[in-house]
Every structure is written in structure tokens, then in C-alpha cells.
């Protein structure tokens, strides 16, 4: 206990962690015991299970040591934690820096009524790294700590529920390339376990169908479909465990409001994001799933990077829901996301096509050179060029069509991205700098790119390939400080590039 | 206001001040240094590995040619383009050569103001003004100022920044 009277006392983590660790110690021995005693597996093949048991024992004991050596306290200015056996680490986080207080629990901790509390205090670019973890506190202590650190007042009742879990969203989250990775993992684990207990999964699968009669192509198709199905089911399961009971709410805090998400089946994850730090929202729509309206929704806030999970306020879902939630998050009288986005000049398409052609030409050149100097067949160079040019041109078109920008009330709305179309609504008063760029090609085509920098989210949001004449006025809309540097009306470029207009007519 | 250095197609007037003329030498030194670094690997391959000469030779020629071209053209273009200005409300800088760039940072968002001097800059009597804001998008850098000018600008910006309330985010 520390010295002077008003100082907060150092506290231990919850005692029930001892029971949890003891139980973990016992549980870790079970697979090996079952294999050796019940199934009677050969001692030679059981060593991986013994490894699992040893690892479980060591980690449980290590956790016990960690528990016994950890103390924490909450003072008027700081949250402090001391931990470590040989090297004592002391970490303190200033309370006004605290951005989020997460409480989650895996099964054992949950059964014991414990919660692991993660106190996040990120800065731009270092966000995502949680500042301090207390593993674990009792549910009451965790709730009290969160109240103390974030809310001040009693348990906040939601002012409004912006979104709730819907089981149909699972379809947006299970069909995914990662499904195959997951299926591979599941199959490998199943195969390994089965062989350990003396089964023969290879023979079992071989006996399922007359594979020889199917031929290699159909076999491949069946395997692909079966593995895919397994993966999709796995993804669906993972989605349910992670997102069940999802709720997005606006809750009152000591000095305003915050967005709170609660989610998880076994492990409840709760993230609170202060509304005072909110600077906008971003919707992103992957190209391959555009037809299905698949959309990811995240908030642009200071103190959290866009890559941090905390920025995501809604699981991947249909565009309509994402739009509604984004509008509710912003709570503007006129939704910025409903603003009609100005399309960018046709020259922007030509710029993209030029780049696609340049990439294809470079690829063809390399292949031509390889064909001339090595045994590569001579036809590869134009085949390679075609293989690069077609997707390149399609991406160029998709990239061009994604372009758009608007100024809507307090917000800038920017849309771009070929593979993943991102629509970002960023508050204008959050803009902390402007950069206008123009390459030689852009200059020839009468285009310019405007980037606004901000302390929130990605840090930079860009309107690619505006008409050169629109660039400076748009930049001045984004940042009024730029207005004094606008050229006198007579010195500005013509309102529209005549060549650009002719090109529009031709198309 | 000085005459327009380079007419720009962007609808922004050029910033008020040019950089020092001797910055051309700074850019040239940097370009030569870059060219030497880029040409070193193909040169080594060419000298040490005779089997590779059929492709190392042309590669070296291309790299060296581009390096020389870069060192000849870039400094002059940059001198014509690079300009800067500090007002009570913002820092305004124009730069670049193949890709031109205009940047504005409001004084109210400035977090740090530094002046830096590299070894070559010290030899040439030049200084760089570096202004950072809360964004991760990088600082506004004005190269090629006389040290006294850079110091004065930094001092002015520091005074202005202190007068502006808020945490600049």
C-alpha cells in the first residue's frame, strides 16, 4: 500500500483467477489422459498431446504468477498497473487519454463471473495497441471501473439503439476467400486428431465415392465444393460467436455521448467511442460483392486508426442498413451520404486507361525480352499483354466510376477505389491541411488531385482527378484557409477543358 | 508580388517567396548522390560477374542516362516551381517537379515547427523549415531557405501557434 492518505490503494486482480488457472491446469491434462487411459493410444504417438498438456500446465502456472504479481490502482489522474516477476513493469495511462474500456471474457472466466478489462489509449498511428490490460476483474469491478473511467455516472442507458444483430447478415460474412483457409485448418486438425486415435480418414474419404469413375476434373470440383461448404460453415460459426447479440447504441457519458457496440456469444466485447472524437464515417464496398450490396461501415475518429477493430461500428452487411446506420451515427439534419456526388471528368478515365496500358506495355516488354533471350515461346509477350490489359482496363473503368466528391453542409464526401470502393464523409472542421497535386499527365489531361489531411482515421482522404479548374475551389471548401491563395478570377484556368468537353460528347 | 514563376493550371496563385538560388546546388548534389546509389549495384554486377554483362550493361546505361538527365533537369525545374509563404493564418508551400504540389497548413492546426540543416545544406548555408500538423500525412517542408529567414519564420509561427487556442486536432 502506498504512502500518503489521499492516494488510491493498490488493488489485486480478482481471486477467482486462481481457480480459473487451476481448472485450466487440469483441463490441459485431459486430452492426453483420455488418449492414454481411456482409448489406450500407443505412448509413441501421443507425444503431441503430452506437449499440449505441458504447454497448458506451463501457461497456467505462468498466469498464476502473473496474477500474484499484478497490482493496479486508479488515481484521480492515472490508471496504473505493476506486474512482472523478475522485471517489474510499471505502466500508467493518463485518464484523459483513455479512449475505450473493453470488457471481454472467454468461457472459463465467464463461468467464474470474471471479465478481462482492456483500457485503450491510442494516439494516431499507434492506435490499436491497447494501453493496459487487467486480466481479470469481477464483473462488478469491471463495470464499476468502466463507469469510473468513461462515464462517471451510473450504468448508461442507451439513448438510441442504432443497429441490432440480424442473423441474415451471416450470408454477407461467410462467403469469402478466407473460408478455404479456415476449411484447410479444420481439415488438417481433424485429420491429425483422427490419425492419433487410430482412425483412417484417408480410407474413409476414399470409400465415400467412386473417385476413379468421376475423373480428375469432377473430383476437383466436388472437393472444391465440399471444402468450400465446410469453410463457409466454419465462417458462419465464427461469425456467430463473434457477432451474436450485436448492438450499436448511443449512450450518454459524463461530457456528452458515445457510440457503444456490444457483441459476442461466449466472449462479450464492448467498445465505446467518444462522440466528441467522431469526425465522420466511411463505407466501403468490395468490388466482387458490389452486386450483393456488401458494405463495411466504420467511423472516422481521432485516437483510433482506421485499421483498428474499434473503428468498425457494424458487421459487414447490406448497403441499406449500412447507410441508415451511418446516417444515424452522424445525426445530421441532411445526410451527407445522400448528397449527389459530382462525377469526375472523362479525362480521369483516360488517365486510368493510360496507366493500365503502361503496365501492360511494361509487362509485354519484359516478356518480349525474356522470349528473345530464353526458351520462352515468342507468343507469350502479346498473350501476357492481353492478360494484363483486360483486367487493367476493367479496373480502370471501375476506378473511374467510383470517383465522386461533394460538399454537404458540415461534411466533405469523397468516393474512390476500384477494388474496394470507399465513401468517406469527413467533417470539414476536422481538416488540418490540404494538398493539391498535379502530375505531368494530369496537367495534360486537365486534372488535379486534392488530399485533405486530418488527425482522424486514415489521416489523409483524397479526391482523385478532379477537373483542374475545380481543384482549388474544392480545396477552399475543404479548408477556408486556402481562400486567400486562390488566383484572381482572370488567372484561373478555363472553367472546363474544351478538349475534355469534346471527349465527353464523343462518348 | 513577384511575377508568376511558372504559370499553373490549378487556380492557385503562387506563394509569395522563392527559395534561395543556391538550393539548385543542393538539389543537384542530392540528384547526383541518388544517381550514384542507383548505378552502384549494376556497376558492381557488370564488373564482378562477366556472365551478366549482356543485361547489366544496358541496365547500367539506362540507369546512368536517367540519373544524368534527372540531375540536369530536376534542380532547375524545382527552382522555378518551389515557393513558400507564411501568413498569420497559414503556411503555404508549392513544390515538386514531375508531380507538382501545393500545400496549405493552417496555423491553428500546427503542432511543431522545426528548422533542420543537413550536412550539404550547412555547406551551402541553407535551412529547411518543417511544419507538422496532427495528421499522419507528413509535414510541410520548405527546403532552401537562408538560415536567418527560416529561423524568423519558425519563430513567427511558434508565436502565432501559441496564441491560437485548441489542441490542433
Is there a domain that residue B64 lies in? yes
Neighbours of A53 (CB within 10 A): 19
Q: In whole angstroms, give the CA distance from residue A266 to residue A116.
A: 13
Same domain, B72 and B88: no
Residues A1 and A21: their CA atoms lie apart, in Å, by 26
Judged against a pLDDT cut of 60, whether residue A314 lies above it is answered with yes
Q: Which of B32, B51, B78 is the last residue of a domain?
A: B78
Q: How confident is the model at residue A310 (pLDDT cuts 50, 70, 90)?
A: confident
- Which positions in chain A have a beta carbon within 8 angstroms of at least one beta carbon in chain B? 124-125, 302, 373, 430, 432-440, 443, 446, 448, 451, 453-456, 459-460, 468-469, 471-473, 475, 479, 481-482, 484-488, 491-493
**Least confident segment among A41-50, A85-94, A294-303, B47-56:** A41-50
Q: Is the domain of B50 the same as that of B91? A: no
Nearest to A432 among B15, B101, B133 (CB): B133
Size of interface A-B (CB pairs under 8 A): 121
Confidence tier at A102 by pLDDT (50, 70, 90): confident
Residue A122 has pLDDT above 90, yes or no: no
Asked if B96 and B145 sit in the same domain, the reply is: yes
In chain A, the percentage of residues whose pLDDT exceeds 70 is 88
The answer, yes or no, to whether residue A48 has pLDDT greater than 90, is no
State how far residue A376 is from chain B, nearest Cα, in angstroms.
Answer: 17
Examine the pLDDT at A466 and tell me if it is beyond 90.
Answer: yes
Cβ within 8 Å, pair B137-A481? no
Q: Are A123 and A280 in contact (CB under 8 A)?
A: no
Contact of B97 with chain A, judged by CB distance below 8 Å, is answered with no
Domain of B108, CATH number, reads: 2.30.29
Same domain, B28 and B97: no
Residues 6+ apart with CB under 8 A from A454: A279, A300, A426, A430, A431, A432, A460, A461, B134, B135
Q: What percent of chain B has pLDDT over 70?
A: 92
The answer to whether residues B69 and B88 belong to one domain is no
Which triple of cell numbers denotes residue A306?
A: 482506421
B6 touches chain A (CB under 8 A): no
Phi, psi of B43 (to 5 degrees): -65, -45
Per residue in A378-424, pLDDT tens?
788 888 889 999 999 999 999 999 999 999 999 999 999 999 999 99
What is the distance between the alpha carbons of residues A197 and A39, in angstroms, rounded to a whole number?
7
Alpha-carbon span B88 to B94, nearest angstrom: 18
Query: Has residue A317 got a pLDDT over 70?
Result: yes
Both B73 and B112 in one domain: the answer is no
A246 secondary structure, DSSP code: -
> Residue B41: which domain range?
23-78
| Mean pLDDT calculated for residue range A21-30 | 88
Q: Is residue B50 part of a domain?
A: yes
Q: Same domain, yes or no, for B65 and B125?
A: no
Which cell is A291 given?
452486386
- Is there a domain that residue B7 lies in? no
Whether residue A264 contacts residue A104, with contact meaning beta carbons closer than 8 Å, is answered with yes
- The predicted model gives A231-238 an average pLDDT of 89
* Nearest CB to A485; choose among B4, B96, B104: B104
CA A481, CA B85: separation in Å to the nearest integer?
13
User: Which of B93, B95, B94, B98 lies closest to B74 in space, CA to CA?
Assistant: B98
* Chain center to CA of A192: 32
Rounded distance, CA A407 to CA A427, Å?
A: 10
> Which candidate from B9, B98, B104 shows the least CB-CB separation from A434?
B104
Output the pLDDT for position A268: 67
Nearest-angstrom CA–CA distance, A233 and A344: 42
- Nearest by CB: A472 against B11, B109, B168: B11
Q: Indicate if the alpha-carbon torsion angle A401, A405, A408, A413 is positive or negative.
A: positive
Cβ A432–B106 below 8 Å, yes or no? yes
**Residues B100 and B123 occupy one common structural domain:** yes
pLDDT digits (tens, 9 = 90+) for B10-48: 889 999 999 999 999 999 999 999 999 999 999 999 899
Structure confidence at residue A222 (pLDDT): 87
pLDDT digits (tens, 9 = 90+) for B86-138: 999 999 999 999 999 999 999 988 888 999 999 999 999 999 999 988 777 77
* Three state DSSP letters for B102-135: EEEEEHHHEEEEEEECCHHHHHHCCEEEEEEECC
Question: B67 with B90, same domain?
Answer: no
Classify residue A168 as exposed, middle or buried by CB count within 10 Å of its CB (0-12, 13-18, 19+): exposed
- Is B98 inside a domain boundary? yes
Residue B124: inside a domain:
yes
Whole-number average pLDDT of chain A: 83
- Residue A136: cis peptide before it, omega within 30 degrees of 0: yes
Q: In 10 A of CB A348, how many CB atoms?
A: 24
Q: Is B15 in the A-facing interface, judged by CB distances under 8 Å?
A: yes
Decide which of B14, B47, B78 is a domain's last residue: B78
pLDDT tens string A318-358: 999 999 999 999 999 999 999 999 999 999 999 999 999 99
- Could you tell me if residue B118 is inside a domain? yes
The pLDDT score that the predictor gives to residue A498 is 42
**Rounded Cα–Cα distance for residues B169 and B164 (Å):** 13
Smallest CA-to-CA distance from A433 within B146, B42, B137 is with B137
Predicted pLDDT at A309: 73
Q: pLDDT tens digit string along A252-295? A: 877 788 888 888 776 667 788 888 889 999 999 998 888 888 99
The answer to whether residues B115 and B131 belong to one domain is: yes
What are the DSSP E strand ranges found in chain B? 17-18, 83-86, 90-96, 99-106, 110-116, 127-133, 140-145
Which residues have a Cβ under 8 Å from the Cβ of A23 and sit 6 or more positions away? A108
The pLDDT, as a whole number, for residue A319 is 92
B150 touches B115 (CB < 8 A): yes
Bigger pLDDT: A285 vs A155: A285
- The pLDDT of residue B155 is above 90: yes
**Overall domain count for chain B:** 2
Task: Decide if B5 is inside a domain.
Answer: no
Please check whether residues B91 and B73 belong to one and the same domain: no
Q: Is residue B63 part of a domain?
A: yes
Q: Is the dihedral of CA A216, A217, A222, A223 positive or negative?
A: positive
CA distance B123 to chain A (A): 31
Q: Are residues B88 and B61 in the same domain?
A: no
Mean pLDDT of B62-71: 94
Distance, in Å, from the CA atom of A475 to the CA atom of A445, rounded to the nearest integer, reads 19
- Rounded alpha-carbon distances, angstroms, from residue A161 to A164, A319, A329, B13: 7, 18, 10, 49
Amino acid at each position: 500500500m502506498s504512502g500518503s492518505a489521499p492516494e488510491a490503494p493498490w488493488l489485486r486482480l480478482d481471486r477467482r483467477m486462481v481457480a480459473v488457472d487451476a481448472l485450466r491446469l487440469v483441463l490441459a491434462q485431459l486430452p492426453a489422459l483420455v488418449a492414454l487411459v481411456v482409448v489406450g493410444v500407443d505412448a509413441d504417438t501421443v507425444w503431441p498431446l503430452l506437449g499440449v498438456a505441458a504447454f497448458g500446465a506451463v501457461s497456467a502456472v505462468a498466469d498464476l504468477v502473473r496474477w500474484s504479481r499484478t497490482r493496479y490502482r486508479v488515481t484521480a489522474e492515472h490508471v496504473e498497473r505493476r506486474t512482472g516477476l523478475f522485471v517489474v513493469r510499471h505502466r500508467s495511462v493518463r485518464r484523459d487519454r483513455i479512449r475505450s474500456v473493453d470488457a471481454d471474457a472467454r468461457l472459463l472466466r465467464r463461468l467464474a463471473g470474471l471479465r478481462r478489462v482492456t483500457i485503450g489509449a491510442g494516439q494516431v498511428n499507434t492506435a490499436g495497441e491497447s494501453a493496459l490490460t487487467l486480466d481479470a476483474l469481477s464483473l462488478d469491478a469491471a463495470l464499476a471501473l468502466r463507469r469510473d473511467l468513461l462515464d462517471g455516472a451510473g450504468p448508461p442507458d442507451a439513448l438510441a439503439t442504432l443497429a441490432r444483430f440480424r442473423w441474415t447478415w451471416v450470408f454477407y460474412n461467410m462467403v469469402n476467400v478466407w473460408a478455404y483457409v479456415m476449411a484447410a485448418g479444420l481439415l488438417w486438425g481433424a485429420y491429425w486428431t483422427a490419425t492419433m486415435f487410430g482412425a483412417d480418414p484417408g480410407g474413409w474419404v476414399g470409400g465415400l465415392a467412386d473417385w476413379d469413375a468421376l475423373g480428375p476434373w469432377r473430383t476437383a470440383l466436388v472437393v472444391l465444393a465440399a471444402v468450400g461448404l465446410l469453410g463457409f460453415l466454419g465462417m458462419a460459426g465464427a461469425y456467430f460467436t463473434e457477432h451474436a447479440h450485436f448492438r450499436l447504441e448511443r449512450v450518454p457519458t459524463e461530457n456528452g455521448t458515445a457510440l457503444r457496440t456490444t457483441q459476442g456469444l461466449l466472449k462479450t466485447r464492448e467498445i465505446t467511442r467518444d462522440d466528441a472524437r467522431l469526425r465522420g464515417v466511411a463505407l466501403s464496398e468490395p468490388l466482387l460483392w458490389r452486386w450483393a450490396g456488401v458494405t463495411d461501415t466504420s467511423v472516422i475518429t481521432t485516437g483510433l486508426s482506421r485499421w483498428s477493430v474499434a473503428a468498425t461500428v457494424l458487421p459487414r452487411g447490406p448497403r441499406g442498413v449500412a447507410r441508415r446506420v451511418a446516417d444515424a451515427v452522424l445525426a445530421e439534419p441532411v445526410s451527407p451520404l445522400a448528397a449527389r456526388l459530382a462525377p469526375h471528368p472523362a479525362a480521369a478515365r483516360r488517365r486510368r486507361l493510360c496507366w493500365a496500358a503502361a503496365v501492360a506495355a511494361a509487362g509485354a516488354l519484359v516478356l518480349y525480352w525474356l522470349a528473345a533471350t530464353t526458351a520462352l515461346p515468342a507468343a507469350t509477350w502479346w498473350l501476357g499483354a492481353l492478360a494484363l490489359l483486360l483486367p487493367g482496363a476493367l479496373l480502370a473503368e471501375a476506378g473511374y466510376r467510383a470517383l465522386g466528391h461533394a460538399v454537404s453542409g458540415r461534411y466533405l464526401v469523397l468516393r474512390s477505389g476500384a477494388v474496394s470502393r470507399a465513401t468517406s464523409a469527413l467533417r470539414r472542421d476536422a481538416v488540418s491541411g490540404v494538398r493539391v497535386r498535379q502530375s505531368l499527365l494530369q496537367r495534360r489531361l486537365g486534372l488535379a488531385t486534392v488530399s485533405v489531411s486530418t488527425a482522424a482515421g486514415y489521416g489523409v482522404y483524397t479526391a482523385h482527378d478532379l477537373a483542374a479548374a475545380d481543384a482549388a475551389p474544392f480545396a477552399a471548401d475543404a479548408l477556408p484557409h486556402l481562400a486567400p491563395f486562390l488566383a484572381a478570377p482572370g488567372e484561373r484556368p478555363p472553367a472546363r477543358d474544351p478538349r475534355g468537353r469534346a471527349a465527353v460528347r464523343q462518348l | 508580388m513577384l511575377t508568376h514563376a511558372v504559370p499553373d493550371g490549378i487556380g492557385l496563385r503562387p506563394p509569395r517567396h522563392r527559395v534561395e538560388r543556391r538550393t539548385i546546388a543542393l538539389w543537384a548534389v542530392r540528384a547526383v548522390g541518388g544517381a550514384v546509389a542507383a548505378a552502384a549495384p549494376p556497376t558492381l554486377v557488370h564488373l564482378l560477374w562477366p556472365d551478366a554483362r549482356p543485361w547489366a550493361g544496358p541496365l547500367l546505361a539506362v540507369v546512368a542516362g536517367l540519373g544524368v538527365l534527372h540531375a540536369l533537369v530536376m534542380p532547375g525545374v524545382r527552382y522555378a516551381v518551389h515557393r513558400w509563404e507564411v501568413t498569420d493564418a497559414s503556411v503555404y508551400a508549392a513544390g515538386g517537379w514531375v508531380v507538382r504540389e501545393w500545400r496549405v497548413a493552417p496555423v491553428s492546426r500546427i503542432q511543431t515547427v522545426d528548422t533542420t540543416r543537413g550536412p550539404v545544406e550547412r555547406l551551402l548555408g541553407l535551412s529547411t523549415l518543417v511544419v507538422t500538423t496532427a495528421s499522419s500525412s507528413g509535414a510541410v517542408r520548405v527546403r532552401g531557405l537562408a538560415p536567418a529567414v527560416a529561423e524568423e519564420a519558425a519563430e513567427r509561427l511558434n508565436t502565432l501557434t501559441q496564441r491560437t487556442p485548441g489542441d490542433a486536432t
